[in-house]
Amino acid sequence: MRPGVFVSFEGSEGCGKSTQIQEIRSLLEARGRSCLATREPGGTALGEVIRNLLKHAPEGRGMCPEAELLLFAASRAQLVREIIRPALDAGTWVLADRFHDSSLVYQGMARGLGLEPVRRINGFALGACRPDVTFLLDMDAAAAWERARAVTRKMGREDRMESEPAAFYETVRQGYLKLAAEDPERVVVVPADRPLEVIRDEIWQTLTRRFDGLSG
Protein backbone atom coordinates (compact mmCIF):
# COMPACT_ATOMS: atom_id res chain seq x y z
CA MET A 1 0.00 0.00 0.00
CA ARG A 2 1.48 3.35 -1.02
CA PRO A 3 1.66 6.07 1.64
CA GLY A 4 -0.23 8.83 -0.28
CA VAL A 5 -3.90 8.82 -1.30
CA PHE A 6 -4.87 9.21 -4.95
CA VAL A 7 -8.25 10.83 -5.63
CA SER A 8 -9.53 11.59 -9.14
CA PHE A 9 -12.40 13.87 -10.12
CA GLU A 10 -14.30 13.13 -13.31
CA GLY A 11 -17.29 14.46 -15.20
CA SER A 12 -18.25 16.54 -18.22
CA GLU A 13 -16.58 19.88 -18.86
CA GLY A 14 -18.40 22.51 -16.79
CA CYS A 15 -19.44 20.18 -13.93
CA GLY A 16 -17.31 21.96 -11.30
CA LYS A 17 -14.39 19.56 -10.82
CA SER A 18 -11.71 22.21 -10.39
CA THR A 19 -13.76 24.15 -7.80
CA GLN A 20 -14.26 21.00 -5.74
CA ILE A 21 -10.58 20.13 -5.97
CA GLN A 22 -9.71 23.54 -4.51
CA GLU A 23 -12.25 23.06 -1.71
CA ILE A 24 -11.03 19.58 -0.78
CA ARG A 25 -7.43 20.69 -0.99
CA SER A 26 -8.11 23.47 1.53
CA LEU A 27 -9.79 21.02 3.91
CA LEU A 28 -6.89 18.56 3.65
CA GLU A 29 -4.25 21.25 4.12
CA ALA A 30 -6.10 22.65 7.13
CA ARG A 31 -5.64 19.18 8.66
CA GLY A 32 -1.92 19.21 7.94
CA ARG A 33 -1.99 16.93 4.89
CA SER A 34 0.43 17.60 2.09
CA CYS A 35 -1.56 17.89 -1.08
CA LEU A 36 -1.04 18.20 -4.82
CA ALA A 37 -3.58 19.03 -7.53
CA THR A 38 -3.03 17.91 -11.13
CA ARG A 39 -4.95 18.51 -14.32
CA GLU A 40 -5.20 16.56 -17.57
CA PRO A 41 -4.15 16.86 -20.21
CA GLY A 42 -1.21 18.83 -18.87
CA GLY A 43 0.48 19.19 -15.49
CA THR A 44 4.04 18.82 -16.83
CA ALA A 45 5.95 20.95 -19.35
CA LEU A 46 5.45 18.24 -21.99
CA GLY A 47 1.83 17.72 -21.00
CA GLU A 48 1.00 21.42 -21.36
CA VAL A 49 2.31 21.40 -24.95
CA ILE A 50 0.18 18.31 -25.64
CA ARG A 51 -2.79 20.07 -23.99
CA ASN A 52 -2.47 22.97 -26.39
CA LEU A 53 -2.33 20.57 -29.35
CA LEU A 54 -5.40 18.70 -28.17
CA LYS A 55 -7.51 21.72 -27.33
CA HIS A 56 -6.44 24.84 -29.18
CA ALA A 57 -3.68 24.54 -31.82
CA PRO A 58 -4.76 24.70 -35.48
CA GLU A 59 -2.52 21.64 -36.12
CA GLY A 60 -4.91 19.63 -33.94
CA ARG A 61 -7.89 20.22 -36.19
CA GLY A 62 -8.86 17.08 -38.06
CA MET A 63 -7.00 14.89 -35.54
CA CYS A 64 -8.12 11.24 -35.80
CA PRO A 65 -9.47 9.57 -32.63
CA GLU A 66 -6.51 7.17 -32.46
CA ALA A 67 -4.00 10.05 -32.42
CA GLU A 68 -6.16 11.82 -29.84
CA LEU A 69 -6.13 8.78 -27.54
CA LEU A 70 -2.34 8.42 -27.82
CA LEU A 71 -1.74 12.11 -27.09
CA PHE A 72 -3.89 11.96 -23.94
CA ALA A 73 -2.02 8.80 -22.94
CA ALA A 74 1.38 10.42 -23.58
CA SER A 75 0.48 13.38 -21.40
CA ARG A 76 -0.74 11.05 -18.64
CA ALA A 77 2.32 8.76 -18.83
CA GLN A 78 4.58 11.75 -18.23
CA LEU A 79 2.38 13.10 -15.43
CA VAL A 80 2.40 9.76 -13.60
CA ARG A 81 6.17 9.35 -13.70
CA GLU A 82 7.19 12.97 -13.15
CA ILE A 83 4.57 14.08 -10.62
CA ILE A 84 1.96 11.59 -9.38
CA ARG A 85 4.05 8.55 -8.39
CA PRO A 86 6.78 10.54 -6.62
CA ALA A 87 4.11 12.52 -4.74
CA LEU A 88 2.26 9.38 -3.63
CA ASP A 89 5.53 7.74 -2.59
CA ALA A 90 6.27 10.81 -0.44
CA GLY A 91 2.89 10.48 1.34
CA THR A 92 1.20 13.37 -0.49
CA TRP A 93 -2.51 13.38 -1.33
CA VAL A 94 -2.96 13.71 -5.09
CA LEU A 95 -6.18 15.33 -6.34
CA ALA A 96 -6.44 14.74 -10.07
CA ASP A 97 -8.68 16.76 -12.36
CA ARG A 98 -9.38 13.83 -14.73
CA PHE A 99 -7.42 10.58 -15.07
CA HIS A 100 -7.77 7.29 -16.98
CA ASP A 101 -11.60 7.23 -16.87
CA SER A 102 -11.68 10.31 -19.12
CA SER A 103 -10.02 8.33 -21.91
CA LEU A 104 -12.36 5.37 -21.41
CA VAL A 105 -15.39 7.63 -21.70
CA TYR A 106 -14.32 10.26 -24.26
CA GLN A 107 -12.15 8.16 -26.59
CA GLY A 108 -13.48 4.67 -25.84
CA MET A 109 -17.19 5.50 -25.80
CA ALA A 110 -17.91 8.95 -27.24
CA ARG A 111 -15.31 8.69 -30.05
CA GLY A 112 -16.22 5.01 -30.49
CA LEU A 113 -12.75 3.46 -30.22
CA GLY A 114 -14.04 0.83 -27.79
CA LEU A 115 -13.04 0.14 -24.19
CA GLU A 116 -10.53 -2.66 -24.83
CA PRO A 117 -8.00 -0.62 -26.86
CA VAL A 118 -8.25 2.24 -24.38
CA ARG A 119 -7.68 -0.13 -21.44
CA ARG A 120 -4.62 -1.55 -23.19
CA ILE A 121 -3.15 1.89 -23.91
CA ASN A 122 -3.89 3.08 -20.37
CA GLY A 123 -2.23 -0.08 -19.02
CA PHE A 124 0.91 0.58 -21.05
CA ALA A 125 0.99 4.29 -20.20
CA LEU A 126 0.24 4.05 -16.49
CA GLY A 127 1.31 0.65 -15.21
CA ALA A 128 -0.63 -0.03 -12.02
CA CYS A 129 -1.12 3.60 -11.06
CA ARG A 130 -4.88 4.06 -10.48
CA PRO A 131 -6.96 6.28 -8.15
CA ASP A 132 -8.00 4.94 -4.74
CA VAL A 133 -11.32 6.72 -5.14
CA THR A 134 -12.97 8.69 -7.95
CA PHE A 135 -15.70 11.30 -7.60
CA LEU A 136 -17.95 11.55 -10.63
CA LEU A 137 -19.63 14.98 -10.68
CA ASP A 138 -22.79 14.23 -12.59
CA MET A 139 -25.17 16.78 -14.09
CA ASP A 140 -27.31 17.46 -17.14
CA ALA A 141 -24.99 17.32 -20.15
CA ALA A 142 -26.37 20.40 -21.93
CA ALA A 143 -26.25 22.56 -18.78
CA ALA A 144 -22.65 21.52 -18.04
CA TRP A 145 -21.61 22.22 -21.61
CA GLU A 146 -23.20 25.72 -21.45
CA ARG A 147 -21.22 26.47 -18.28
CA ALA A 148 -17.97 25.33 -19.89
CA ARG A 149 -18.63 27.33 -23.06
CA ALA A 150 -19.27 30.50 -21.04
CA VAL A 151 -15.79 30.19 -19.45
CA THR A 152 -14.15 29.42 -22.80
CA ARG A 153 -15.85 32.40 -24.45
CA LYS A 154 -14.57 34.65 -21.68
CA MET A 155 -11.03 33.41 -22.33
CA GLY A 156 -11.54 34.19 -26.01
CA ARG A 157 -10.03 30.91 -27.22
CA GLU A 158 -11.73 28.15 -29.20
CA ASP A 159 -11.59 24.68 -27.64
CA ARG A 160 -11.65 21.71 -30.03
CA MET A 161 -12.97 19.38 -27.30
CA GLU A 162 -15.97 21.65 -26.67
CA SER A 163 -17.08 21.81 -30.29
CA GLU A 164 -18.94 18.51 -30.57
CA PRO A 165 -22.67 18.03 -31.14
CA ALA A 166 -24.89 17.76 -28.04
CA ALA A 167 -25.19 13.96 -28.45
CA PHE A 168 -21.44 13.62 -27.80
CA TYR A 169 -21.74 15.14 -24.31
CA GLU A 170 -24.81 13.05 -23.51
CA THR A 171 -22.78 9.92 -24.46
CA VAL A 172 -20.02 11.18 -22.17
CA ARG A 173 -22.47 11.54 -19.28
CA GLN A 174 -24.02 8.11 -19.81
CA GLY A 175 -20.56 6.58 -20.29
CA TYR A 176 -19.41 7.87 -16.92
CA LEU A 177 -22.56 6.58 -15.22
CA LYS A 178 -21.94 3.16 -16.77
CA LEU A 179 -18.36 3.08 -15.45
CA ALA A 180 -19.63 4.07 -12.01
CA ALA A 181 -22.25 1.29 -12.07
CA GLU A 182 -19.55 -1.23 -12.99
CA ASP A 183 -17.18 -0.15 -10.21
CA PRO A 184 -19.30 1.41 -7.44
CA GLU A 185 -16.67 0.75 -4.78
CA ARG A 186 -14.19 3.12 -6.46
CA VAL A 187 -16.42 5.52 -8.42
CA VAL A 188 -18.73 7.62 -6.24
CA VAL A 189 -21.46 9.51 -8.11
CA VAL A 190 -22.06 13.03 -6.76
CA PRO A 191 -24.99 15.02 -8.21
CA ALA A 192 -23.34 18.28 -9.29
CA ASP A 193 -26.27 20.65 -9.88
CA ARG A 194 -26.37 21.61 -6.17
CA PRO A 195 -24.67 24.35 -4.15
CA LEU A 196 -20.89 24.08 -4.01
CA GLU A 197 -20.83 23.60 -0.20
CA VAL A 198 -23.31 20.73 -0.30
CA ILE A 199 -21.23 18.91 -2.91
CA ARG A 200 -18.03 19.60 -1.00
CA ASP A 201 -19.47 18.26 2.28
CA GLU A 202 -20.65 15.07 0.58
CA ILE A 203 -17.22 14.44 -0.94
CA TRP A 204 -15.52 15.22 2.37
CA GLN A 205 -17.79 12.79 4.25
CA THR A 206 -16.83 10.00 1.87
CA LEU A 207 -13.14 10.77 2.31
CA THR A 208 -13.35 10.86 6.12
CA ARG A 209 -15.25 7.57 6.10
CA ARG A 210 -12.68 5.87 3.89
CA PHE A 211 -9.41 7.29 5.12
CA ASP A 212 -8.45 7.22 8.78
CA GLY A 213 -7.61 10.28 10.81
CA LEU A 214 -9.22 12.96 8.64
CA SER A 215 -12.21 13.89 10.77
CA GLY A 216 -11.93 16.26 13.70
Write out the residues near ligand TMP by the rule CB under 6 A.
Answer: 13, 39-41, 72, 98, 102-103, 106-107, 161
Q: Pick between residue 63 and residue 214 the one whose CB is nearest to ligand TMP.
A: 63
Q: How far is the CB of 215 from ligand TMP (least distance, A)?
A: 30
Q: How far is the CB of 75 from ligand TMP (least distance, A)?
A: 7
| CA distances for 175 relative to 102, 113, 115, angstroms | 10, 13, 11
Q: How far is the CB of 192 from ligand TMP (least distance, A)?
A: 14
Residues 6+ apart with CB under 8 A from 207: 7, 24, 133, 214
What's 4's DSSP letter?
A: S
Q: How far is CA 153 from the centre of its chain?
A: 22
Q: How far is the CB of 151 from ligand TMP (least distance, A)?
A: 8
Q: From CA 115, how far away is CA 125, in angstroms rounded?
A: 15
Residues 6+ apart with CB under 8 A from 136: 10, 11, 101, 176, 177, 179, 180, 187, 188, 189, 190
